[in-house]
Amino acid sequence: MTKRDYYEVLGVDRVADDQTLKGAYRKLAMKYHPDRNPGDAKAEEPAKKSVKEVMKLAHKDGLLKKIIEGSAEQADKEQLLALYVDMWDAEPPKGSVESWNKLTGGAIVAAARVVVGKDGAVAELKERTNCGACHKEHKAS
């Protein structure tokens, strides 16, 4: 992944700071959120999932696997992106914020690239969702 793609996907200025990037991710996730209901102001910010909920929905229930295997629908890809944005916002049981932002941010960018159908995005998603690497840093055993 190059920096350029990252900014391209999100449509933000190249000098954007962390806050702007987070906002752009959230907007993208909201845009693609399957439960989004534009008529209801309360639905504008969907309830955020905890890390455990994300692990269940994205990993235990096979959503990520389905996408990597190539049998997922567009809605599945959009759901994974939304789940990973929630994961970024959630707090891991251990590990530094820098590491968490880097790992979850990488997963988000890869998932966003899968949503917009970039070349090589699925391979990147597989790399960026390395279970063991993240658990070692952030999962209390």
Interface region with ligand HEC, contact rule CB under 6 A, candidates 3-11, 28-36, 74-82, 133-141: 133-141
Among 10, 24, 29, 129, binds ligand HEC (CB under 6 A): 129
Among 36, 59, 66, 118, binds ligand HEC (CB under 6 A): 59
What would the 3-class secondary structure string for the chain be?
A: CCHHHHHHHHCCCCCCCHHHHHHHHHHHHHHHCCCCCCCCHHHHCCCCCCHHHHHHHHHHCCHHHHHHHCCCCHHHHHHHHHHHHHHHHCCCCCCCHHHHHHHHHHHHHHHHHHHCCCCCHHHHHHHHCCHHHHHHHHCCC
- According to CB under 6 A, which residues from 22 to 51 bind ligand HEC? 51
Judged by CB under 6 A, the number of residues near ligand HEC is 18
CB of 84 vs ligand HEC, minimal distance in Å:
8
